Amino acid sequence: MLRGTLLDGRPNIMPGKPAQPVLVYFWATWCAVCRAEQSAIESIAHGNPNVITVVMQSGNRDEVAKYLGEQGLNFPVLNDPDGRISAAWGVHAVPANFIIDSQGQIRFVEIGYTTGAGLRLRLWLAAVLG
């Protein structure tokens, strides 16, 4: 469903049926709304292996890594410089959040700003409903 190499070199393969709900967050370095949401994503990702972010059309690996360092961000990132991953997921605007349940189904989709509380609630609901 979502495969690639993270910026830190680790492989990322999202299982077809994850044990816990997964947050897939599409964003871009040039997106002002994404910047407003970054601290919430960082907080949710801290200690949670079920968060993966996809940075779309924001430059090469080094440029994205520099941006992450400047912003003090440490969440896992798949780089999507040409937009192929985003297109496969039907993402045409950022930020975009997908909550995948334990059956591998997309349970919730949010385009635009979403609060950390809202994302946590959707992750919890996906666990209860999935």
CATH says 24-129 is which class?
alpha beta
Cβ distance 34 to 97 under 8 Å? Answer: no
What global pTM score does this model have? 0.94
Tell me whether strands 2-5 and 11-14 are parallel, antiparallel or unpaired.
antiparallel
Q: pLDDT, tens digit, for every residue of 113-126?
A: 999 999 999 999 99
pLDDT of 13 strictly over 90: no
The secondary structure of residue 45, as a DSSP letter, is H
Stretch 74-100: mean pLDDT, rounded? Answer: 95
pLDDT for 25 = 98
Give CA–CA dist 99/51, Å, rounded: 9
- pLDDT of 12 reads 87
Q: Check residue 15 and give its pLDDT.
A: 81
> What residues have CB less than 8 Å from 101, skipping those under 6 apart?
21, 107, 126, 127, 129, 130
Share above pLDDT 90 across residues of the chain, in percent, rounded to a whole number: 83
What is the Cα–Cα distance from 33 to 25, expressed in whole angstroms?
13
What average pLDDT does this structure show over 102-119? 95
The mean pLDDT of 82-102, rounded to a whole number, is: 95
Residue 90, Cα to own-chain centre: how many angstroms? 14
| All structural domains of the chain with their residue ranges | 24-129
Helices (H), 1-130: 32-45, 61-71, 84-88, 116-129
Q: Does 101 have pLDDT greater than 80? A: yes
Three-state SS at 75: coil
